[in-house]
Amino acid sequence: MTASRIDDSALRAEVRAVGALLGRVIREQEGERIYQLVERVRTLAVARRRRPTAPGERTLQRLIRRLEQEDIEAVARAFTLFLHLVNVVESRHAPQLDPGAGSGSLAALLRRLSRRGTPSDLVARTLSDLRATVVLTAHPTEATRWSVHKILSRVDRALEAGARAGEAELLREITALWQTQLQRERRPTPIGEVQHALHTLETVFQDAIPRVHERLAKAFESAYGARLEPPARPVRVGSWVGGDRDGNPNVTAWVTSEALRLHRQTTLAAYWRAIPTLIDLLTPSEKRVPVSEELRASVERDLEELPRLRERLEGYESHELYRRKLNAVAVRLELSMEETDAAELPGLRGGYPDAGALAADLELIDRSLRGERGARLADGMLQTLRERVASFGFRLASLDVREHQARHRAAAASLLCPVEGPLEGLPVEEQQRFLEHCFLHEPDEPLPPLDSLDDAAREVLSTLLTVRESMARLDPGAVRDLVISDTHDHANVLELLVLARRVGLVRRSSDGGVESAVNIVPLFEKVDSLAAAETSMERLYESPAYRAQLRARGMRQQIMLGYSDSAKDGGYFAACFALQRAQRALADQAARHGVHLEFFHGRGGTISRGGGPTHRAILAQPPETVRGRIKLTEQGEVITSKYGTSEAAVHHLEQLASAVLEATLAHPMQGRTARVSWMGAMDTLAERSRARYRGLVYEEPGFVDLFYAATPIEEIAGLRIGSRPAKRRGGRRIESLRAIPWNFAWNQNRVLLSSWYGAGAALQEMLAEPDGEQRLRAMYRGWLFFRTVIDNLQQVLAKVDMEVGAAYGELARDLPDAVALLQRIRDEHTACRRSVLRVVGSKRLLEGEPALRRSIERRNPYIDSLSQLQLELLRRKRSGGVRGATLEAMDGAIQLTIAGVAAGLRNTG
Ligand code: PGA
């Protein structure tokens, strides 16, 4: 698709319409003066982008410098809201403007497969084993309040009605937006986060996932002319919200247990709420058509077992058997909820022992209807509910539990060797021997009273006990995966295995093997641990203790890859390549050991956190590493932008499922995978870029001060956008800062350094070598991985604004090294931009992605203005000149601009 060929006129018209309505509301609410001020800033910012001149730049800066705090806030609010409205409009049009939308659909892919002669039974078999799992996390990357999102989704609905038809509604919602406080004043609690995730799961995923499966079935039928048997349900959803405690002391064992309870209750309640509609719809009378004998017998049984059913049925005709049965279903669902709350075993009071029992009741109704010419009745809502129960069971998402390896280590030390001293400090082989011995030979002993253990051990063990209790009582699938963050080596995995055994999640069985209720998932997230991952896994695959665990889990192993921490550690290029190389090696190794491997990609929104278009990212994985399974995180602002509505969610989930199927069966670059020499070149690029990146970020003594002075990192750390703290430990070291605020800060000052620094020098050096340019261009043309890395860099570079960055740099003026360091950053940026363009062979960035380029261009003047406003506020705050405003008000205004810039970039960090 080229620039001239995209037709985004409908999108542009809608942007103009909402912009005009916003203007009207500002006039009504604030009066002419503010309206004119907003317009003036806007006009100057647009002019600055069209014709960058120094006097134009200065006029805008002068104007902003003179503004009172209140006026700054009004302008910031206006632009933030405009950017939010643009986001809504763009999301509505995204499926049509997505360059991969057509070819990435399931229908197109299945047609291609069928044309290519891929046999239908192979496709059906692959589909029945396919898993594409999206995991929602509570990572603090959504700067917009949930209440604001709710208003924005009403805006979306009003736009759906047509800008004209919905005008009154749009004006109402925009007025509500204007009068709503945009920034948070209180941190969400972990339970608030759980409830919010459940809201998304219930309102979006519960509807979207069955729709994707339906599309898949239809696409298969139309491509192969046969029904898809067995029906495939490849799309899954998981959650970390309430289960991820890594670095978040607010997520306690109680929070996890409450999250599990809420998941179950929300799901049961959603099914229960669907029943009255079915009662309205399924009115057939026995006087008109018979019902099956099994249905009649089951209603008899229900009446015997459920005393409250008789009363409930008093108002119903006795010849309407479907309605009678559906009432029984409603009663059993109510009892199931009561049993959960009373901490009883499911089924004890007449509730459903498991989701299979509910499915069986619904199938009974379905069979009876179909057996008596009622297929049309069975195909409607009943079918939808059956599909939901089949897709979700009694949980909308299964919960993963994640903890940092150091906490497991502390717990293992305190539990296993309180006398001998900690495991820390022993060579890893000795740790391995000790842990294997504990796992294989120590007798099953009851746990010591938790009170006798230290805090870390108590919390780690109570969490594992909660998980075990919940799985044993309520739902064996409620939790499947225990993730270990910052895994260094195999001892970290064995530690958790031993702990899991001590709490009974893993048990020795009578036949000498083990039974295990959970997967143990190492998360490799540093460049060095990624490089050593193959060795770590080799030790595990050879370990008798770990092999027993693997056998108990059907020889399936999940490995999680951390994108942002590896990029924070070694820079973008080095992280990308370390991840790519590790995946290949790990996949080959697993195949050698007869292990089915599933990669879990810990990706965030920005490029340096693994963001970028998912479809493309999956196809860029080494072909042999997908093999029908993929799991990935979706977080914060990505959840709202990709899964804000069912429509958007269906689109993204379909693209995901289709990419996984394509990567498994029909990799587009098969036979064109990386040549050995390309791997070598990439290795060189990664190494050079890493040295350059670390040389600045970790080795340059003045860098930390520059970072704190020239970004709003302190204000970001003070944002109350998630329950998790911004740092793992105190102090100002880059190492203790989490990856999210690190990226967030660089996005805000528009330098986006964390996404590209180091790549420029590496590319430039290679371009200067004989044949360097030729080689890099060939890699770009022929190696999808490299192409994705470079195209993502293009996206990042298109969002960088070095002029704004330089103005932030002024905030660091008093630091001795600032000038030299800022110059180094500028030079590296120039090198990066030039080199990327040479590799791509184009004159400007994003030549091949006109929709994205236009979107960035549309937003830029507003983001620029917000940056200028933020800068002015920071300047005032740091010089102590708050001009009558309280510090709190000042921080509030800065946070407003932070949220505005994040909305404009569509990424926090
Ligand atoms: P983590 O995630 O810090 O929770 O590992 C980082 C990210 O998603 O960027």
Atom of ligand 1 lying closest to residue 402 CA: 4
Task: Name the residue at shortest CA distance from atom 4 of ligand 1.
Answer: 139
Pocket test for ligand 1, best of 137, 139, 747 (most atoms within 8 A of CB): 139
How far apart are the CA of 707 and the centre of ligand 1, in A? 20
- Tokens 């090294």 belong to which residue? 817
Using a 6 Å cutoff on CB, does residue 502 contact ligand 1? no
CB of 377 closer than 8 Å to CB of 423? no
pLDDT digits (tens, 9 = 90+) for 851-907: 888 888 999 999 999 999 999 999 999 988 666 778 888 999 999 999 999 999 986
**Ligand 1 near 740 CB (within 6 A):** yes
Mean pLDDT value across residues 210-218: 96
**How far away, in angstroms, is 633 Cα from ligand 1 center?**
10
Say if ligand 1 is within 6 A of residue 603 CB: no
CA of 134 to the centre of ligand 1 (A): 16
- Does residue 609's CB lie within 6 angstroms of at least one atom of ligand 1? yes
Q: What would the mean pLDDT of 617-646 be, rounded to a whole number?
A: 87
Asked whether 738 lines ligand 1 (CB < 6 A), one says yes
406-463 confidence digits (pLDDT tens):
999 999 988 887 656 667 778 999 999 999 999 988 888 888 999 988 888 999 999 9
Helix (H) or strand (E) holding 600: strand 596-602
Task: Please give the distance, rounded to the nearest whole angstrom, from the Cα atom of residue 263 to the centre of ligand 1.
Answer: 23
Of the given ranges (90-94, 237-241, 477-481, 771-775), which has the lowest mean pLDDT?
A: 90-94
Q: Is 723 in the pocket of ligand 1 (CB under 6 A)?
A: no
For the stretch 384-390, contacts whose Cβ atoms lie closer than 8 Å and that sit 24 or more positions apart, written own/partner, are 384/210, 384/274, 385/271, 385/274, 385/278, 386/359, 386/362, 387/210, 387/213, 387/214, 388/206, 388/210, 388/270, 388/271, 388/274, 389/271, 389/355, 389/358, 389/359, 389/362, 390/233, 390/359
Q: Is the CB of 138 under 6 A from ligand 1?
A: no
How far does residue 609's CA lie from ligand 1's centre (Å)?
8
Residues of the chain above pLDDT 90, percent = 79
Nearest ligand 1 atom to alpha carbon 633: 8
Place of tokens 């983001």: 863
pLDDT digits (tens, 9 = 90+) for 300-324: 999 999 999 999 999 889 999 999 9
Q: Residue 690 pLDDT > 50, yes or no?
A: yes
Query: pLDDT-based confidence at 139, cuts 50/70/90?
Result: very high
| pLDDT score, position 301 | 97
| Span 326-355, pLDDT tens digits | 999 999 999 999 999 999 999 999 999 999
Residue 523 has pLDDT above 90, yes or no: yes
CB 739 near ligand 1, within 6 Å: yes
Residue 420: its pLDDT value, please? 60
Query: What pLDDT, on a 0 to 100 scale, did the predictor assign at position 443?
Result: 83
634 lines ligand 1 (CB under 6 A): no
With a cut of 50, say whether residue 504 has pLDDT above it. Answer: yes
Residue 139 Cβ < 6 Å to ligand 1 = yes
Compute the distance between CA of residue 786 and CA of residue 138 in angstroms, rounded to an integer. Answer: 31
Ligand 1 center to residue 565 CA distance, Å?
A: 7
pLDDT of residue 747: 95
- The pLDDT confidence band at residue 668, using thresholds 50, 70 and 90, is low
Query: What is the Cα–Cα distance from 367 to 373, expressed in whole angstroms?
Result: 10
* Spatial distance between the Cα atoms of 42 and 44, rounded to a whole number of angstroms: 5
How do residues 732-776 score in pLDDT, each as one tens digit? Answer: 999 999 999 999 999 999 999 999 999 999 999 999 999 999 999
Q: Which residue type is seen at 727?
A: K
Which of the 8 DSSP states describes residue 131? E
Q: Is the pLDDT of residue 669 over 70?
A: no
Q: What is the largest CA-CA distance in the chain?
A: 92
215 lines ligand 1 (CB under 6 A): no
> In this predicted structure, what is the pLDDT of residue 670?
46
797-832 residue pLDDT tens: 999 999 999 999 999 999 999 999 999 999 999 999
Pocket-testing residue among 569, 729, 738, 742, ligand 1, by greatest number of atoms within 8 A of Cβ = 738
* Mean pLDDT score across all residues of the chain: 92
Ligand 1 centroid from CA 383, angstroms = 39
Q: Which is more confidently placed, 135 or 141?
A: 135
- The per-residue pLDDT for 619 is 83
Q: Which atom of ligand 1 is nearest to the CA of 603?
A: 8
Atom of ligand 1 nearest to the CA of 562: 5
Q: Which atom belonging to ligand 1 lies closest to the Cα atom of 565?
A: 6
565 CB less than 6 Å from ligand 1?
A: yes
Residues tagged active-site? 139, 568
What residue owns the CA closest to ligand 1's atom 8?
604
In the reported structure, the alpha carbon of residue 602 is separated from the centroid of ligand 1 by a whole-number distance in angstroms of 7
Q: Which atom of ligand 1 is nearest to the CA of 602?
A: 8
Task: Read off the pTM.
Answer: 0.94
Helix/strand/coil for 231: coil
Fill in the DSSP letter of residue 558. Answer: E
Residue 740 CA to ligand 1 center (angstroms) comes to 6
* pLDDT tens profile 530-578: 999 999 999 999 999 999 999 999 999 999 999 999 999 999 999 999 9
Tell me, what's the pLDDT at 595?
A: 97
**What does the alpha-carbon distance between residue 17 and residue 376 come to, in Å, rounded to a whole number?**
43
pLDDT at 415: 87
The answer on pLDDT for 608 being more than 70 is yes
**Which atom of ligand 1 is least distant from the CA of 743?**
9
The pLDDT confidence band at residue 4, using thresholds 50, 70 and 90, is: very low
Which of 650, 173, 577, 210 minimizes the C-alpha distance to 387?
Answer: 210
DSSP 458-523: HHHHHHHHHHHHHHHHT-TTSEEEEEEET--SHHHHHHHHHHHHHHTSEEE-TTSSEEES-EEEEE
> pLDDT confidence of 1, banded at 50, 70, 90?
very low
**E strands, 353-495, in order:** 398-404, 479-485
Give the pLDDT band of residue 163 (cuts 50, 70, 90): low
Count of CB atoms within 10 A of residue 481's CB?
Answer: 23
